């Protein structure tokens, strides 16, 4: 249960960082950064959806149309469609928190059907391990959002 508390904490922190972003900064990609604030926010959402689906195969991904915009390796400069607005992304993150916590509650000790590895660094075999990775990943991207916000407001 503490793992879901950490997930909730990470999301509150992320939403706080996003709240500080000025509207004009969402799509600026400063030198030295691979993506934009919009991309990072969407990436957090999409990654959490995909990993929840991996943990609980019956979970239905919300906004599957966003996958092609925000999965690892994508770039705003290559988008061929209009991305979701900042309001749509923030609302999606807010709604996602309780939905994911509800689906993962009482399933943390489940063994994954297929383990997940990040390179040869670490193998995750349980739902809880995967959720801990979601939390860590969100924290990384929340930090990038904060850095992008600072870099675009100077």
What ranges do the domains of the chain cover?
2-152
Q: What is the mean pLDDT of residues 124-149?
A: 94
CA–CA–CA angle 41, 43, 49 (5° rounding): 110
Q: Can you tell me which residue has the tokens 């992304």?
A: 89
Q: Are 69 and 42 in contact (CB under 8 A)?
A: yes
pTM summary value:
0.94
What is the model's pLDDT at position 70? 98
Q: What is the mean pLDDT of residues 62-90?
A: 96
CATH code of the domain occupying 2-152: 1.20.120.450
Residue 119 has pLDDT above 90, yes or no: no
Residue 34 has pLDDT above 70, yes or no: yes
- Per-residue pLDDT band at 125 (split at 50, 70, 90): confident
Question: Per the structure block, which two tokens stand in for 34?
Answer: 């691979």
Residue 20: how many other CB atoms lie within 10 Å? 12
| DSSP conformation class of 80 | -
User: By CB neighbour count within 10 A (0-12 exposed, 13-18 middle, 19+ buried), where does 70 fall?
Assistant: buried
Q: Are 40 and 89 in contact (CB under 8 A)?
A: no
């Amino acid at each position: 249960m503490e793992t879901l508390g950490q997930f909730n904490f990470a999301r509150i922190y992320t939403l706080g960082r996003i709240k500080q972003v000025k509207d004009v900064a969402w799509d600026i990609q400063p030198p030295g950064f691979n993506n934009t604030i919009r991309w990072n926010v969407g990436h957090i959402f999409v990654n959490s959806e995909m990993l929840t689906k991996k943990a609980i195969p019956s979970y239905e991904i919300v906004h599957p149309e966003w996958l092609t915009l925000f999965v690892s390796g994508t770039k705003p400069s290559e988008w061929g469609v209009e991305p979701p607005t900042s309001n749509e992304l923030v609302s999606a993150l807010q709604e996602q928190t309780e939905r994911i916590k509800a689906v993962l509650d009482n399933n943390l000790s489940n063994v994954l059907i297929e383990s997940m590895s990040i390179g040869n660094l670490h193998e995750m075999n349980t739902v809880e391990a995967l959720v801990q990775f979601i939390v860590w990943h969100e924290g990384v991207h929340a930090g990038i959002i904060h850095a992008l916000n600072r870099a675009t407001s100077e």
